[in-house]
Structure 1
Amino acid sequence: MDPVFKALADPTRRRLLDRLHEHNGQTLGELCGRIDMARQSVTQHLAVLEAANLVSTVRRGREKLHYLNPVPLHEIQERWIDKFERPRLRALGAVKRRAEEAMTDKPAFVYVTYIASTPEKVWEALTDADLTASYWGHSNVSDWNPGSRWEHVRTDGSGIADVVGTVVESERPTRLVTTWASPENEGREDTYSRVTLDIRQHGDIVRLTVTHEDLAHERDLADVSLGWPAVLSNLKSLLETGSPMPQEPWLMPSR
């Protein structure tokens, strides 16, 4: 928690978080335009926020987009607020949901997790049909070449795909971008969402950033906000312990 409190202690860094709260997914240039400070100084402040896991970054072409990551703030909630002020926790939960929304035409979700593994093993766990079946409840099936089709296939032997899409970018083992659609909407690109998996070495561990954007409705944002953390927790368990959780997280009742 010390890096988080250190990051929050500086008023400039709090202003940067406020700017991302207002408009998530900004470039360095956009952030500098709102703060009267040299570009190098803003970069240094962002580095502190990123080291505290309060800000995550995603590459899109030549641009580097900055996103507010509310997970450390949620951990502070659980440790110091949840036990004492549940009504305020509910209010902060509403703020968190708003903070995760990019101020664009469609909602977006960003999630960062750290895994004691290697980029190659994380890539394999995300793209291998047998491995995804073991912790996701579906098999991810494709040759994972740019332009190829991919399917999220049920493991009950029916061969039914609940999600289909196209591989947009594939840079093993660091970056995978795919479109997502329900089978009945295949071919209707205006209904597609887009998922970017960014896999980076972070010291001796791996930092995995998932960005799910262009979601059609607020209910879709609510669904992925529950689904991705559950799936990635199961993935983390598989890679770090050799087996997924004894019960799928998405089947466990919420409190």
Structure 2
Amino acid sequence: MTELATSQEYGVLSAPATLTIERLLPGSIDRVWAYLTESDLRRQWLAAGTMEMRVGAPVELVWRNNELMDNPGTPPDGLDGRHEMQSEITELEPPHRLGFTFGNAGEVTFDLEPVGDMVRLTLTHRRLPDRTTILKVSAGWHAHFDVLAARLGGEEPPPFWDNWVALKAEYERRLQA
């Protein structure tokens, strides 16, 4: 999917430590919201885990990237496909806005806006601590959104790890130091 991505699908640094990615997704806003907030649906594209719908509630995120599809590709050295993170909901306006801390790597906000029969998802990841983290999360969010778009569209997503590696290289080029 990397070859097909338009320049608008790539994230940009909207501030020195802030990544912003916009993506038009198929489906109703309620359906996209469910994929953000319900563990069984969220695990199909990002991470499973509990998420009580109230500001201040803990959020558990458990990534199993090797289980996102039948053929996820080969993880890069040092990444095994499983990762856990404890976070906290910071903003909640169903079905338009969800914000939560992102472990020690800043804060994430998802904004949803209906656009005809599509939904514009805008991710803002603030307070990224360094360039290495910026590149990893840029490729990570982009690859996970590719999986989400495929799931919402009833298509088979690209192999996660192969896509992530290609995207990380592209973000290294696009997000110059």
Same fold? TM cut 0.5: yes
Which of residues 210, 230, 237 is equivalent to 2:123? 210
For structure 2, the 5+ residue unaligned runs are 1-5, 67-81, 170-177
Given the two structures, how large is their TM-score scaled by the length of structure 1?
A: 0.51
Which of residues 140, 144, 162 is equivalent to 2:53? 144
Deviations 1:58-116 (A, max 9, x none): xxxxxxxxxxxx92497xxxxxxxxxxxxxxxxxxxxxx8x62514xxx1100000012
Q: Answer yes or no: is 1:245 the counterpart of 2:167.
A: no
Cα distance in 2 for partners of 1:73, 1:239 equals: 16
Corresponding residue for residue 132 of structure 2: 219
Q: Answer yes or no: is 1:120 the counterpart of 2:56.
A: no
Q: Is the 8 A contact 1:151 1:161 kept in 2?
A: no
Deviations 1:199-247 (A, max 9, x none): 0011221100000011111111111111111101110110111x55152
Instruction: Report deviation, 1:175.
Output: 0.4
Cα distance in 1 for partners of 2:9, 2:94 equals: 32
Q: Secondary structure at the match of 1:139?
A: coil
Corresponding residue for residue 133 of structure 1: 43
Instruction: Report deviation, 1:163.
Output: 1.6
- Paired residue type of 1:100: L
Instruction: Report deviation, 1:140.
Output: 3.6
Structure ranking higher on relative contact order (CA contacts 8 Å, 6+ apart):
2
Instruction: Report deviation, 1:143.
Output: 1.1
Q: Answer yes or no: is 1:174 the counterpart of 2:96.
A: yes
Deviations 1:138-191 (A, max 9, x none): 3042112111000111459xxx8622111011111110010111xxxxxxxxx4
Q: Answer yes or no: is 1:193 the counterpart of 2:106.
A: yes
Q: Secondary structure at the match of 1:141?
A: coil
Q: 1:153 to 1:245 in 2, by over 3 A?
A: same
- Alignment size in residue pairs: 145
Q: Is the 8 A contact 1:134 1:244 kept in 2?
A: no
Q: 1:162 to 1:73 in 2, by over 3 A?
A: closer
Cα distance in 2 for partners of 1:223, 1:101 equals: 17
Larger helix percent: 1
Which of residues 67, 71, 78 is equivalent to 2:7? 71
Corresponding residue for residue 77 of structure 2: none
Q: Is the 8 A contact 2:58 2:89 kept in 1?
A: yes
Instruction: Report deviation, 1:251.
Output: 3.8
CA RMSD of aligned residues (A): 2.6
Q: Which has the larger radius of gyration?
A: 1
Q: Which runs of 4+ in 1 moved over 6 A?
A: none
Q: 1:204 to 1:220 in 2, by over 3 A?
A: same
Cα distance in 1 for partners of 2:121, 2:63 equals: 24
Residues 158-169 of structure 1 aligned to structure 2 (within 5 Å): 162-169=84-91
Q: 1:192 to 1:245 in 2, by over 3 A?
A: closer
Q: Is the 8 A contact 1:127 1:140 kept in 2?
A: no
| Identity rate, percent | 26
